[in-house]
């Protein structure tokens, strides 16, 4: 069985926090969310981690998140996402300052990844169960093409108590394959317990166990070529839109719609944790303390 690679999307973190505050500790020994992600991936059989970062904070990032930090137990590589990281023949439109989005970030790893790989956000805590689920699936795909996967969470396990969230609501067929992924914004639990998203002023009800994407995808390396090819079409259609982004769901929906690939929706019982709002951090830290007390993690991850 092949050891899959973990691709960590971290290029946007410097701008979100103003500095590398993703290094802020959430564990008892100053472990960051990234530490728990790598630890869980190691336990799930992953053999390498590739970080997508930017040159502006590369030195600081590499000093912290490197193979030595992880006890030499996993190979570590770095690739770079910049505004001018574009296919030959394309140039940055005048006035464009916003990054090109998550699928553009994935494209940056084309020369670093040769095996099935999982994609994660650097600032999301997905849970050990999710890594086992996707790791088991990807380890069976050596040599396969056009067979992708994602870990879907029950919506009620991905909400914030401190404000609304955006989630990719998934349509799934009888065989467990994705049929569609629609971004829903302003999702929240109401005072009466219902989960709704606010759509143009009307509240639309969502079921507690609605499967949603948290950007935990699994791909085989052919995904890179499809992405590079379609990005050119997307770029020409969106070059005058300064805030348009080439998201992973954009690419996935395209490949599914035209029958090029299938994507298996793997369900996870894991509780997702993130820091959508600064008020979410104490809840995440408390959750980690509970998991340590329950024996799910050691008190010091890398000791």
- In this predicted model, what pLDDT tens digit does every residue of 223-233 receive, in sequence order? 999 999 999 99
H runs (alpha helix) in 75-219: 102-107, 128-138
How far is residue 115's CA from residue 37's CA, in Å, rounded to a whole number?
19
- CATH fold for the domain made of 5-293: Spore Coat Polysaccharide Biosynthesis Protein SpsA; Chain A (3.90.550)
Report, as an integer, the average pLDDT of 287-299: 97
User: In the structure, what pLDDT confidence band is assigned to residue 67 with cuts at 50, 70 and 90?
Assistant: very high
Supply the pLDDT for residue 60: 87
Residue 300: pLDDT over 60:
yes
CA proximity to 181, closest of 150, 212, 208: 212
CA proximity to 130, closest of 118, 146, 142, 122: 118
3-class DSSP assignment, residue 94: coil
Q: Which helix (H) or strand (E) holds 179?
A: strand 178-189
Supply the pLDDT for residue 271: 87
How far is residue 127's CA from residue 18's CA, in Å, rounded to a whole number?
27
CA proximity to 38, closest of 104, 125, 113: 125
Which is more confidently placed, 15 or 78?
A: 78
Count of alpha carbons within 13 angstroms of residue 254, beta-carbon side: 15
Residue 276: pLDDT over 60:
yes
CA distances from 40 to 134, 169, 301 (A): 11, 25, 10
Beta strands in 190-241 (DSSP E): 195-199, 202-206, 211-219
The packing angle between helices 128-138 and 33-43, to 10°, is 50
Look up residue 134 and give its two tokens. Answer: 């996707």
Mean pLDDT rounded to a whole number for the chain: 92
- In this predicted model, what pLDDT tens digit does every residue of 78-124 receive, in sequence order? 999 999 999 999 999 999 998 999 999 999 999 999 999 999 999 89
Question: What is the chain's Cα-based Rg?
Answer: 19
How far is residue 151's CA from residue 191's CA, in Å, rounded to a whole number?
29
3-class DSSP assignment, residue 186: strand
Residue 12: pLDDT over 90:
no
Look up residue 270 and give its two tokens. Answer: 């894991």
Report, as an integer, the average pLDDT of 195-216: 90
Whether pTM > 0.85 for this model: the answer is: yes
Share of the chain above pLDDT 90, in %: 81
- In this predicted model, what pLDDT tens digit does every residue of 20-52 receive, in sequence order? 654 678 999 999 999 999 999 999 999 999 999
Supply the pLDDT for residue 13: 66
């Amino acid at each position: 069985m092949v050891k899959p690679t973990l691709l960590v999307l971290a290029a946007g973190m410097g701008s979100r926090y103003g500095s590398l505050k993703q290094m802020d500790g959430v564990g008892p020994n100053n472990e960051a969310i990234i530490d728990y992600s790598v630890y869980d991936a190691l336990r799930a059989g992953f053999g390498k981690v590739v970080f997508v970062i930017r040159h502006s904070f590369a030195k600081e990032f590499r000093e912290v998140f490197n193979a030595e930090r992880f006890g030499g137990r996993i190979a570590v590589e770095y690739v770079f996402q910049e505004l001018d990281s574009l296919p030959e023949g394309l140039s940055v439109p005048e006035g464009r300052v916003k990054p090109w989005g998550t699928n553009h970030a994935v494209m940056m790893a084309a020369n670093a990844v040769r095996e099935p790989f999982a994609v994660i956000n650097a600032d999301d805590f997905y849970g050990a169960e999710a890594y086992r689920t996707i790791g088991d699936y990807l380890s069976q795909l050596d040599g396969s093409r056009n067979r992708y996967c994602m870990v879907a969470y029950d919506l009620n396990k991905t909400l914030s108590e401190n404000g609304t969230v955006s989630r990719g609501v998934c349509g799934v067929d009888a065989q467990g394959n994705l049929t569609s992924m629609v971004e829903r914004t302003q999702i929240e639990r109401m005072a009466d317990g219902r989960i709704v998203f606010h759509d143009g002023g009307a509240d639309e009800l969502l079921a507690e166990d609605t499967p949603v994407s948290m950007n935990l995808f699994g791909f085989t390396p052919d995904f890179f070529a499809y992405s590079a090819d379609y990005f050119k079409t997307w770029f020409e259609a969106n070059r005058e839109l300064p805030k348009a982004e080439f998201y992973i769901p954009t690419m996935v929906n395209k490949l599914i719609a035209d029958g090029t690939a299938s994507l298996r929706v793997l369900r996870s019982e894991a509780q997702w944790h993130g820091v959508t709002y600064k008020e979410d951090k104490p809840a995440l830290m408390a959750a980690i303390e509970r998991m340590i007390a329950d024996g799910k993690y050691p008190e010091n991850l890398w000791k």
